Structure 1
């Protein structure tokens, strides 16, 4: 076998010929040249689709109420029920403490909702039991009646005006969780303060534009009946319900009930409220009585 010595000359390397291109073949264009164009076309199509569906994609205004300067937020259903409770207390000339206790109690019992169910036969805002002499099932599910029955028993509790809230509420309700009411005293205090305030904008509520349903005269009559039970003696004219002698608590009551009553405007003493703007000053409406105008 031949041996290779270190330092010996390597074998010669033959030169390679360059590759010859075929004259009849063309080079294919790169796919990457078309990618930016395709992306632009797809984006333009997507923008066009989204623009056409913009109203569907934008979420509607939430139906809710809040108290400026606090973290209290409610649905419009809860706010309306709270406003009814405060209105019943006000109509009876009860002090603010009665409203605070009632609101805290209803928050614990039903989260301020007019429930059609409950423990055993408990129903309504205060989960009152027809079997315990609170009234018929239909009555205890009437917020005005239910609040009235609660206040009937509240004022019979010795020292209710100054007593600890949970003990006073328990004396009325006889709950299996007697300490549960106390946690809602801050909420009851803030909410009562807003509903009994003598200034505008104490309670802020907003909701999507009201949708009309039924003849205007029929709807106006229904609103007038609710006003009569909770806010004062109404006068009806041209789709507007007026309440002479009403103050800001009644105006706030109207705002809390606006979605339920299909109101698109509340006017009071130089101020105007709408679901989209809230309260705004309107000097042209100065000195008018409280007016509720339907959508």
Structure 2
């Protein structure tokens, strides 16, 4: 790959087939690779939870909004748990009475216009704003904090989703666990489009996005957080994986630990050039 350099933006982050014919359809199916599932899984030492790529992208938005607004993993856990209960992590345009969106917020109750609420980032921001006004939310049980914001007719319902909410929050937060997605081939995109998504999810965070390499078909971008701590870098890599279905990322690499779009992880020693790179590297199909 030819080195190109340059900062884009600073964000505010045959044989088998023959045998199969002879042996029959059953064996053929066993030798044929399954199509990508477009599913993402968060894995912790004790559990695994899977969601569609679209819903995982919504989780990533919820988490990013939380970090930008100063909330820790507890706050993000509350938000993700709430969205699981309210919408199944889908940005719904319907609900009980006039409830819509990830958090099933109601325009008639002052959450904003329907159009605003259907914007996942706006909706998440409104949730965190309301959570921050709950006195002592940090010390409440997750279901209690969620109920204090939502005022649901089923106040304990959030508890059944707390473990999954915490798993997503911790993995996306770079604390514990991993996020992995198995995705179909990406559409052609641009380096600018990826940079714009970073800026959209992390406004004001000061993440630098730069072009590192390009071979005409694939462009490798570097994303550097303002603080290159291990947790910040794991957080950024998890976000890149969780959003890959929409950004078109082909792989996301952190110091040789590389997720690829077919859902596998590769471990290798990075070249000297990238061994100490203070960020993550992401490849996008650009032609």
The residue aligned with 2:197 is 226
Shift of 1:138: 2.2
Q: RMSD in angstroms over aligned alpha carbons? A: 2.7
Aligned partners of 2:90, 2:224: CA distance in 1, in Å? 30
Aligned partners of 2:41, 2:33: CA distance in 1, in Å? 22
CA 1:45–1:73 in structure 2 vs 1: closer, same or farther (change >3 Å)?
closer
Aligned partners of 1:102, 1:225: CA distance in 2, in Å? 24
TM-score of the pair, normalised by structure 1: 0.74
Among 267, 272, 281, the residue aligned to 1:291: 281
Aligned partners of 2:29, 2:144: CA distance in 1, in Å? 53
Shift of 1:235: 2.6
Shift of 1:124: 1.2
* Structure 2 counterparts to residues 235-250 of structure 1, below 5 A: 235-237=209-211, 238=214, 239-245=219-225, 247-250=233-236
Provide runs of 4+ in structure 1 moved above 6 Å: none
The residue aligned with 1:252 is 238
Among 260, 263, 268, the residue aligned to 1:274: 260
* Structure 2 counterparts to residues 1-80 of structure 1, below 5 A: 47=22, 58-68=33-43, 69=45, 70-80=47-57
CA 1:282–1:113 in structure 2 vs 1: closer, same or farther (change >3 Å)?
farther
Q: Does the 8 A contact of 2:220 with 2:282 survive in 1?
A: yes
Q: Does the 8 A contact of 1:81 with 1:112 survive in 2?
A: yes
Shift of 1:269: 2.8
Among 140, 152, 155, the residue aligned to 2:117: 140
Q: What SS class does the counterpart of residue 66 from structure 1 fall into?
A: strand
Shift of 1:108: 0.2
Aligned partners of 1:240, 1:283: CA distance in 2, in Å? 14
CA 1:58–1:265 in structure 2 vs 1: closer, same or farther (change >3 Å)?
closer
Which of the two has higher C-alpha Rg?
Answer: 1
Gaps of 5+ in 2: 1-18, 226-231
Q: Does the 8 A contact of 1:270 with 1:287 survive in 2?
A: no
Q: Does the 8 A contact of 1:228 with 1:234 survive in 2?
A: no
Shift of 1:104: 0.7
Structure with bigger RCO (C-alpha 8 Å, 6+ apart)? 2
The residue aligned with 1:33 is none
Q: Does the 8 A contact of 1:62 with 1:208 survive in 2?
A: yes
The residue aligned with 2:248 is 262
Q: Does the 8 A contact of 2:174 with 2:233 survive in 1?
A: no
TM-score of the pair, normalised by structure 2: 0.76
Aligned partners of 1:195, 1:124: CA distance in 2, in Å? 21
Among 152, 173, 180, the residue aligned to 1:204: 180
The residue aligned with 1:4 is none
Structure number having the greater strand percentage: 2
The residue aligned with 2:133 is 156
Q: Deviations over 1:121-158 (max 9, x none)?
A: 21111111122221222221222111111000001111
Q: Deviations over 1:99-133 (max 9, x none)?
A: 11111100000111111221122111111112222
Aligned partners of 1:158, 1:92: CA distance in 2, in Å? 17
CA 1:180–1:65 in structure 2 vs 1: closer, same or farther (change >3 Å)?
same
CA 1:286–1:45 in structure 2 vs 1: closer, same or farther (change >3 Å)?
closer
